[in-house]
Amino acid sequence: DGGGGAGRGRHGGRSPRRVTYRLLAPKALVLVSHYPFLDTYRHMLTGVYRASLSASPLPVERLVVNLVQEVPLPPCGQVEVRLTLPDQRPWRLRRAARNSLPALDSSLRPLLALLSPERVLQVFECLLCEGKVCLVSAHVSILAPVAAALLALLFPFEWQGIYIPLMPCSMFEVLDAPVP
């Protein structure tokens, strides 16, 4: 009888204590785009995160689907798309017309703060000559804004070579490719 007397079971007549565990899995939202709306995308993801913490009637997944699939990309020119998340200020997506100055969605400050004017001119000269430029930083978050700022400086020209704003170590052999 399990040593607990007739009919009592192994735990002396009491039902076993039920232990429940709650599994918490971290979530990450990553927005990958070839359009340089860096600050706007950062604010959008921050807004989605804040909406996930609030008592919003919409699930986070619905907000992400809206941002990724339902918000149209504005055509080049004077048209802009405005979008708003619950309890957030509106954001604007706008692309510059073909023959106008590029719409830089991030500041030139990181580029000018990290590189001296002489170094910026050296990199600019290398880009104009279609040379290879590899930006290296211990702070990964600064690479894309600096790369976007360098490409914006090329106006009215456009970079025609390979552009990888953030490259993992496993892809370093790409640097040996015979292309600019």
What average pLDDT does this structure show over 22-27?
A: 74
Mean pLDDT on 111-116: 90
For residue range 143-168, list pLDDT tens digits in order: 888 888 888 888 888 888 888 877 88
Over residues 86-110, the pLDDT tens digits come to 667 777 777 777 777 766 667 788 8
Report which of 118, 135, 129, 138 is spatially closest to residue 160, judged by C-alpha positions: 129
More confident residue, 121 or 177: 121
pLDDT at residue 118 is higher than 90? yes
Q: What is the mean pLDDT of the chain?
A: 78
pLDDT at 49 over 60: yes
For position 31, what pLDDT does the model report?
77
What DSSP assignment string belongs to 129-154? TT-------S-GGGHHHHHHHHHHHT
The pLDDT of residue 1 is: 45
- Per-residue pLDDT band for 15 (boundaries 50, 70, 90) equals low
Give the containing element (helix H, strand E) for 128.
helix 117-128
Is residue 64 packed enough to be buried (19+ CB in 10 Å), middle (13-18) or exposed (0-12)? middle
User: What span, in angstroms and rounded, lies between the C-alpha atoms of 119 and 122?
Assistant: 5
Higher pLDDT, 133 or 28: 133
Looking at residue 119, its pLDDT comes to 92
Q: How crowded is residue 95: how many other Cβ atoms within 10 Å of its Cβ?
A: 20
Mean pLDDT over 159-180 rounds to: 81
